[in-house]
């Protein structure tokens, strides 16, 4: 089911700006899950943010695998719901390689992440992301994961084209295997 192909809507740029404006108005930077923003889900923005912030560990297809942060769990097989995904992105997962993406996740006395503050955590117990995200961006990524990654089975040619764009040669490895050669590993991103 594709939800992003609505013909006759404003250009992607206009749509993106509208979504950003709406999200800025709705969110207050809290780690607690926000209700779904009204209006269509912006899967293109979600994909862009996912690609920049998550694919390094979870891979483009979400199945994750080994990396410097340990084994990133599969987002295709995850059983987490939207709120739980949002919490995991914002707060990370202490004691694992999943970093937190909200700048102030563990700052101050609010303890909005698992009831933990900086003083409750030993150094290095929870990792900060390379780049922090806004709460609104985290919601957009969660919607992308729910629409395009979670529960989608094993990744194939169509998933690959959906991610990299029609005609992407990086996806050719998903076509029928090359005769005589060993199967190439799927692209990392």
The contact set with ligand HEC (CB under 6 A) reads 53-54, 56-58, 67, 69-73, 75, 78, 80, 85, 88-89, 93, 96-99, 101, 141, 145
Q: Cβ neighbours of residue 16 under 8 Å, at least 6 residues apart?
A: 42, 44, 45
In the complex, the smallest distance separating the C-beta of residue 88 from ligand HEC, rounded to whole angstroms, is 4
Burial tier of 21 (Cβ tally within 10 Å: 0-12, 13-18, 19+): exposed
In the complex, the smallest distance separating the C-beta of residue 189 from ligand HEC, rounded to whole angstroms, is 12
Q: What is the largest CA-CA distance in the chain?
A: 61
| Closer CB to ligand HEC, 39 or 70, in the complex | 70
| Closer CB to ligand HEC, 37 or 139, in the complex | 139
| Closer CB to ligand HEC, 65 or 173, in the complex | 65
Q: Which two tokens stand for residue 100?
A: 């937190």
Place of tokens 């199967």: 183
In the complex, the smallest distance separating the C-beta of residue 158 from ligand HEC, rounded to whole angstroms, is 21
| Closer CB to ligand HEC, 63 or 96, in the complex | 96
In the complex, the smallest distance separating the C-beta of residue 113 from ligand HEC, rounded to whole angstroms, is 14
> Which one-letter DSSP state was computed for residue 178?
P
Q: Which residue is nearest to ligand HEC (CB)?
A: 54
In the complex, the smallest distance separating the C-beta of residue 91 from ligand HEC, rounded to whole angstroms, is 11
For residue 14, the SS3 value is: helix
Closest by CA position to 155, among listed 61, 74, 66: 61
The CB-side HSE value for 26 (13 A sphere, CA atoms) comes to: 19
């Amino acid at each position: 089911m594709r939800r992003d192909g609505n013909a006759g809507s404003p250009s992607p740029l206009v749509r993106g700006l509208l979504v950003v404006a709406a999200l800025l108005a709705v969110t207050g930077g809290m780690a607690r899950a926000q209700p779904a923003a009204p209006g269509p889900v912006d899967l293109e923005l979600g994909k862009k943010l996912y690609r920049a912030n998550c694919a390094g560990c979870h891979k483009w297809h979400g199945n994750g695998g080994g990396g410097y942060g340990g084994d990133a769990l599969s987002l295709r097989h995850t059983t987490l719901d939207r709120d739980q995904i949002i919490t995991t992105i914002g707060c990370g997962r202490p004691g694992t390689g999943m970093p937190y993406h909200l700048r102030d996740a563990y700052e101050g006395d609010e303890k909005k992440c698992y009831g933990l503050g900086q003083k409750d955590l030993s150094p290095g117990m929870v990792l900060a992301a390379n780049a922090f995200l806004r709460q609104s961006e985290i919601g957009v990524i969660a919607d992308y994961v729910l629409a395009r990654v979670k529960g989608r089975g094993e990744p194939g040619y169509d998933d690959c084209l959906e991610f990299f764009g029609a005609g992407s040669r990086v996806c050719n490895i998903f076509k029928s295997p090359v005769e005589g050669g060993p199967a190439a590993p799927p692209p990392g991103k």
